[in-house]
Amino acid sequence: MAKAICKSIQSKGLIDYSQIYVSSPYPKNLDSWKTLGANVSTDNAVVAKEADIIFLAVKPHILKGAIEEIWHSPLATHVKDKLFVSILAGITTTDLEELLSKFIGSRVIRVMTNTSIQVGEGCTVYCPGTTVTETDLELVQKILEVTGMCQCIPEHMINAVGAVSASGPAFVYLFIEALSDGGVRMGLHREMATRFVAQTVMGAAKMVLETRKHMGTLKDEVCSAGGQTIAGIHALERGAVRGSVMDAIEAAALKAAELGKQGKSKNE
């Protein structure tokens, strides 16, 4: 996800890779960043010292270790007045502020985005911590809005949004693959079927956003009496597609909450 964010804002001209600092304990993970021209290090404290905005993009259960590494570094005295932007699932702004309280002037913004930011069609939400400034919020909004839709929301909504928008692309890809499989089964070549399906899904999504009509209304406009579309809808309803999708969103949201609790317990 860190790569997706950087690629998106770099492609929009907001930043050059020479201004990006990246750390990982595994040198091999840094090779692609080095090729792009980013500054790389196996020491998190180097990034924390050099960067004005620090994106936290680690697994929740190793967050505390990463922060402790910075704190115990000789460079820790330089880590002050920093804006930390977290893309960690389940870790609340309260948790983050507690972990980062050792660093003077630290501020926290929690972000949830998706991989579609790579093509400028992302869906990103963010929640401010208690000490962020209007300048911080304006800066993060400016950075993220070039990647697609971007909106500030109450934090209690973020796991639900994450299930819909962060996990959602995987569910949509599964649906696109299934539609493509159906096309192949009925005689289309795979490349043709996939291209037609992807365009169809993109067009349908644009209809929802631009017409602002209810999905049921848009669906009814496609379904003629006794026609092929209503026959297909009937087959989907027999397969409980709506219930299955709702179950998927619920499972993803609950998992995000679980990851947050696991991360907090391991960080304590």
44 known ligand binder: yes
Q: Which of 16, 3, 11, 2 is nearest to 147 (CA)?
A: 11
60 known ligand binder: yes
59 known ligand binder: yes
24 known ligand binder: yes
Enumerate the β-bridge partners of residue 85.
55, 109
Q: Which of 215, 205, 217 is nearest to 148 (CA)?
A: 205
- Rounded to 5 degrees, φ, ψ at 42 are -90, 5
* Residue the block writes with tokens 């399906």: 197
Angstrom distance (rounded) from CA 110 to CA 56:
9
The separation between CA 50 and the C-alpha centre of its own chain, rounded to angstroms, equals 25
41 known ligand binder: no
267 known ligand binder: no
Angstrom distance (rounded) from CA 148 to CA 109:
18
Angstrom distance (rounded) from CA 222 to CA 215:
11
- Rounded to 5 degrees, φ, ψ at 124 are -125, 135
Enumerate the β-bridge partners of residue 54.
84
- Please give the annotated binding residues, written as ranges: 24, 44, 57-60
- Please give the annotated binding residues for NADP(+), written as ranges: 24, 57-60
- Please give the annotated binding residues for NADPH, written as ranges: 44
